[in-house]
Amino acid sequence: MDNLSQDKLKELESKCIQEEDPWCNAMCPIHIDVRQLCKLVAQGNFTEGRKIYEKKVVFPNIISRICEEKCKSQCKRKELGNSINVRQLELACMNYGKEVKARVLLKPKKKEKVIIFGTSLSGLSCAIELRNKGYFVDLYESEEILGKNIYENYKEALEEITIKTDLQKVEDSGTKIYINSYFEKEKLNEYKEKYDALVFDGNIYKEYLSYNMITLQHENDKVFYSPMNVSAVECISLGKRLSTSIDRYFQHSSMTQGREKEGVFQTKLYTNLEDIDIEYETIPRNKKFYSEDEALKEGQRCIDCNCLECVKGCEFLKHYNSYPKKMAREVYNNLSIALGNRTSNKMINSCSLCGQCKAICPGGLDLGEVCEYARKQMVKTNKMPPSAFEFAIEDMEFSNSKEFFTVIEKDNLNYVFFPGCQLCASEPDLVKVIYNDLNDKLKNEVGLILGCCGVIGKWSGEEERFYEEIKLIKNTLEKINNPILITACPTCYKIFSSHLESVKVKMIYDYIDDKQLKFIGNNNDISIDDPCTVRYDDKLQSQVREIAKKLGFNLKELDYGREITTCCGYGGLTCFSNKELKENIVLSRIKENKLNYLTYCINCRDSFLSQNKEAKHILQFIYNFDGKNKKPNISERRYNRVQLKLDLTQEKDKTNNYKIDLIMSDDLKETLEDRMILYKDIEDTIKNAQETNEKFINKSNNHNLAYYRIKNVTFWVEYTIKGGKYLVYNAYSHRMKIEVN
């Protein structure tokens, strides 16, 4: 994504269909909020249901009894039982809900006058709507009583009192009613001079039967027309549309803009029905209308049509109780703030950038793309909180520093193994086994590069740093004539495949022989987990599954696998920016199946192990390598990488500076992990205190309290020294500088 302009935002928002109307609303000519009405009835709140119904329906007593129920034809519930009996629910709201008098707002009177010839439900509703807008309205009724055609047309379906109650609203609106009055053709010019708009309700004057289908306006712009032979609820819709057109005509506004959803329209909403049970319509015992209990039961059948498919699989969206369209708008607003608090920073930095939402979304909206762009902009404008990803970036820099970055060449170098920094940190001995195996298979032509692909720079919004790391790898490969690069990390594979144009990149599984696959699974069931970075790589996904089957495992797919797989919480650096969310992501993932998990991403494996879920990397099975099979803490990960380099380069004269002998409780170790404090930081702080004597002493327990600033962070350590060893009781950090006068 190159920008997030207003136009780009609208393009993105248009892909999300969550705010699209449900089918019942789209099919209803007046767009009653059927979902909300059903929800209120299901709660027994008939009064609130009546309020939202009367807000849309000018004549609620009439329509709730004779509505043709166009909504039922497209109700999704009919695919699993019968459609919701919406009309009965509307009637229940009118029967059992209390009448709440609407607040009378004193609207300024307007000078324009409108005359309406005819009193069908269209003309009458138009009169009320125009009066509500402040216009003067004269209404001509050709019969001796108002709305006589309504009494005649619906005499079998409606009681007179029902019609009379609703039509009283016309008189109450202040409409001036002329009984026994009708349109006189010879007075047409007189009408045009006296009134600012004329409405013909029905076939009253045949010369004005032609009209614009959207605006209902005749080519003579002062004349508007309401067609005949439409249903009762369509009449109410026509009345609203007429009043809108006349109001716009008077205001000299666009007559057509933004009217695509007037009347019946098509919706793009998608609703998954897989987990919905079949339920059939409630039939009223009295054959006429629902009792309160029957209405409750029918209201509860509504499945509350939504999309939210992406939310179902994404703990990030659940955590913020939102969906991509809404969040994209929040991101845009956050970036647009010139002054004031940027309240969405943490939300932006919490996304895993994994692309699951795009893979699931019917419209293909990728919120991760939006968040990644936002991070880059925050970095460019110095709005990125320094604490968000600093530890992760420093870890990337460590991996590509002289402390770990290593190149091992061979005389006949045709391949180079790039295991990935995290596999080296978690299972360094496995890396050695794989490296030796590759050389055995490929005639000792495999070199080695220990380092990081730089994805942390990309995920953190540090675009320049990302390309610096890519340049380091690219230059290193050029120096050794761009051999085939073999990696064991799916993230490295994705990054290198898209950024190293001159290098052929392969996954380790291309070099696994069937003969080395021992039948160790014993046909046991195991769940397969796909890394999010290769969600679209069907070849790799299938390749790993085939290997797992040959190892003797009976694979069980998780709810979210392959293209729609879930991130483990490491992607996008969520584990650094939002630890609570990271934990929820892992807990949600491991609840998908009680079986042990098999994955081919070391970060996924470590995430599962962190919550005591039995999980293994497939390379552990391929090489019959058990290892420690635990997630190392952040200090152990540094130590493992350095030690791996020393072992592979055989630098016996060098020592591992990350081999640190501290004595502390297990609880404190967990605290340090949570606070992202390295043992090395603690040791450096203590050493500085011992050398400079810059420390405090707590006389109550004789503990030392030392502080030391390393880069941008000040560390505090509470400790004592016994027998030359450091006993650590507590440690914490902050970003304030300590200045001593």
Instruction: Mark whether 485 and 537 lie in a shared domain.
Output: no
Chain centroid to Cα 618, Å, comes to 31
The per-residue pLDDT for 211 is 85
Domain residues for the domain of 208 are 113-251
Instruction: Mark whether 399 and 443 lie in a shared domain.
Output: yes
The per-residue pLDDT for 343 is 80
Helix, strand, coil percentages (3-state) for the chain, rounded to 5, are 45, 15, 40
Instruction: Mark whether 127 and 186 lie in a shared domain.
Output: yes
* Lowest model confidence (mean pLDDT) among 205-214, 295-304, 573-582: 205-214
The per-residue pLDDT for 482 is 98
Q: Extract the tokens encoding 308.
A: 């939210």
538 found inside a domain: yes
Q: What is the DSSP string of 216-283?
A: -B-SSTTEEEE-SS--HHHHHHHHHHHHHHHHHHHHT--SSTT-TTSSS---------TTPPPBPPPP
Whole-angstrom Cα distance, residue 331 to residue 367?
10
> Is the confidence at residue 209, as pLDDT, over 80?
no
Instruction: Mark whether 92 and 149 lie in a shared domain.
Output: no
4 found inside a domain: no
Whole-angstrom Cα distance, residue 134 to residue 247?
10
Confidence of residue 724 (pLDDT cuts 50, 70, 90): confident
657 found inside a domain: no
What are the residues whose beta carbons fall under 8 Å from the beta carbon of 506, sequence distance 6 or more? 484, 485, 486, 487
Confidence of residue 657 (pLDDT cuts 50, 70, 90): confident
pTM for this one?
0.89
Q: What are phi and psi of 75, to 5 degrees?
A: -60, 125
Averaged pLDDT, 410-414: 94
The per-residue pLDDT for 659 is 86
Instruction: Mark whether 295 and 314 lie in a shared domain.
Output: no
The per-residue pLDDT for 105 is 66
Q: How many CB atoms lie within 10 A of CB 368?
A: 24
Q: Write down the mean pLDDT value for the chain.
A: 95
81 found inside a domain: yes
**Segment 14-29, tens digit of pLDDT:** 999 999 999 999 999 9
Instruction: Mark whether 562 and 577 lie in a shared domain.
Output: yes
> Is the confidence at residue 51, as pLDDT, over 90?
yes
152 found inside a domain: yes
Which residue, chain included where needed, has tokens 């404090």? 677
The per-residue pLDDT for 208 is 65
**Segment 116-129, tens digit of pLDDT:** 999 999 999 999 99
Question: Residue 463 is part of a domain; what is its CATH number?
Answer: 3.40.50
CB 16 within 8 A of CB 324: yes
High-pLDDT (> 70) share of the chain, %? 98
Rounded alpha-carbon distances, angstroms, from residue 582 to 528, 529, 573, 589, 604: 20, 17, 9, 11, 12
406: three-class secondary structure by DSSP: strand
CB 578 within 8 A of CB 350: yes
**Segment 454-475, tens digit of pLDDT:** 999 999 999 999 999 999 999 9
* Lowest model confidence (mean pLDDT) among 37-41, 289-293, 382-386: 382-386
The per-residue pLDDT for 202 is 82
642 found inside a domain: no
Instruction: Mark whether 121 and 71 lie in a shared domain.
Output: no
Longest Cα–Cα distance in the chain = 117
Instruction: Mark whether 556 and 504 lie in a shared domain.
Output: no
Question: Residue 139 is part of a domain; what is its CATH number?
Answer: 3.50.50.60
**Segment 132-184, tens digit of pLDDT:** 999 999 999 999 999 999 999 999 999 999 999 999 999 999 999 999 999 99
The alpha carbons of the chain give a radius of gyration, in whole angstroms, of 36
Q: Extract the tokens encoding 181.
A: 């009055």
Rounded alpha-carbon distances, angstroms, from residue 410 to 57, 403, 417, 728: 82, 22, 12, 45
Confidence of residue 3 (pLDDT cuts 50, 70, 90): confident
75 found inside a domain: yes
> Is the confidence at residue 104, as pLDDT, over 80?
no
The per-residue pLDDT for 340 is 62
Among 238, 270, 299, the domain boundary falls at: 299
Instruction: Mark whether 427 and 496 lie in a shared domain.
Output: yes
Number of domains in the chain: 6
Instruction: Mark whether 487 and 421 lie in a shared domain.
Output: yes
> Is the confidence at residue 341, as pLDDT, over 90?
no
Ranges of beta strands (E only) in 375-435 are: 406-408, 415-418
Instruction: Mark whether 507 and 436 lie in a shared domain.
Output: yes
CB 602 within 8 A of CB 426: yes
Instruction: Mark whether 497 and 518 lie in a shared domain.
Output: no
The per-residue pLDDT for 106 is 63
The per-residue pLDDT for 671 is 97
Rounded alpha-carbon distances, angstroms, from residue 72 to 26, 427, 452, 661, 727: 11, 60, 58, 73, 73
The per-residue pLDDT for 404 is 97
340 found inside a domain: yes
Confidence of residue 655 (pLDDT cuts 50, 70, 90): confident
> Is the confidence at residue 186, as pLDDT, over 80?
yes
Confidence of residue 108 (pLDDT cuts 50, 70, 90): confident
Which residue, chain included where needed, has tokens 């030796």? 436
Whole-angstrom Cα distance, residue 541 to residue 531?
9
> Is the confidence at residue 102, as pLDDT, over 80?
no
